Amino acid sequence: MKLFWRYIFIFGLVMNMVCCDSVDQDRRINNNQETFETINITNNREIIAKLDQTVQKTPKWDQLVKEIREGEDYNIGHFNKSREKLVEELAIQTVVIESVIPLLENIYGGRSGFEKEGVIFSEEGFWIGIKDPDRRLEKIVAELQKKVDEGEIKADSINIFRTLYTTFENNRLMREVNDKINQISVGRGDIGRSVSAVSASSDTGNIEIGHNGLTEEQSK
């Protein structure tokens, strides 16, 4: 399969989703054993865990970047973005699809298991949001740190934050909105046809309805 189609698949999927001592782990996760405290605020999100860039040489990452740069579809200009920024984004997306998402699913008991606990999305790096972090977050950080230590991914590519909404909750809300639209549109096919999409923001939980037929009161 050509790189172009591979990366189209990667973008679509992601936008829908170290051995260390105890001192290092406590530094990466500001955890008092009861709650995961906020380390800092980035993009108005509470960062609750961080990875450390422990190595200067990143052979696995460099090889992946090299393969992307040499790819036919990349070089003939399928993607309308800054070249260096694009390479970084594609490299992150590839690692996420091949190893980060499987890791999350393994720790949380499959895709549905994670969707009940948090959200994932891509935005200048890869974001992992956990609503009620527990000891499983320590396992995630430890395994991701191994990938950093082995030069597979860069620490600043992964952001772990406290989310107010899970994918499961957002999906449930979208279903409720769709059900309400269907109720409104009974006997009025024009409304049903006018609604193009219902989506929930992974970051804020806000619902957006693409439409041109609902009244202001119906939208409320």
CB 23 within 8 A of CB 107: no
Q: What is the CA radius of gyration of the chain?
A: 20
How many domains would you assign to the chain? 2
Q: Tell me: do 155 and 201 sit in the same domain.
A: no
Q: Tell me: do 47 and 109 sit in the same domain.
A: yes
Domain boundary among 123, 147, 164: 164
Domain boundary among 138, 164, 190: 164
**Both tokens assigned to 208:** 């957006």
For residue 197, what are the domain limits?
168-219
Q: Tell me: do 95 and 139 sit in the same domain.
A: yes
**Both tokens assigned to 135:** 């000891």
Burial of 158 (0-12, 13-18, 19+ CB in 10 A): buried
Q: Tell me: do 22 and 117 sit in the same domain.
A: yes
Q: How far apart are CA 98 and CA 153, in angstroms?
A: 12
Residue 60 has pLDDT above 80, yes or no: yes
Q: Tell me: do 71 and 20 sit in the same domain.
A: yes
Q: How far apart are CA 126 and CA 158, in angstroms?
A: 5
Residue 130 carries which DSSP code?
E
CB 12 within 8 A of CB 93: no
Q: Tell me: do 38 and 141 sit in the same domain.
A: yes
pLDDT band at 11 (very low <50, low <70, confident <90, very high): very low
**pLDDT tens per residue, range 90-101:** 899 999 999 999
Q: How far apart are CA 66 and CA 62, in angstroms?
A: 6
Q: Tell me: do 21 and 87 sit in the same domain.
A: yes
Name 49's bridge partners.
29, 160
Q: Tell me: do 147 and 189 sit in the same domain.
A: no
Q: Tell me: do 66 and 106 sit in the same domain.
A: yes
Q: Tell me: do 151 and 196 sit in the same domain.
A: no
Higher pLDDT, 142 or 180: 142
Residue 111 has pLDDT above 50, yes or no: yes
Pairing status of strand 158-162 against strand 40-42: unpaired
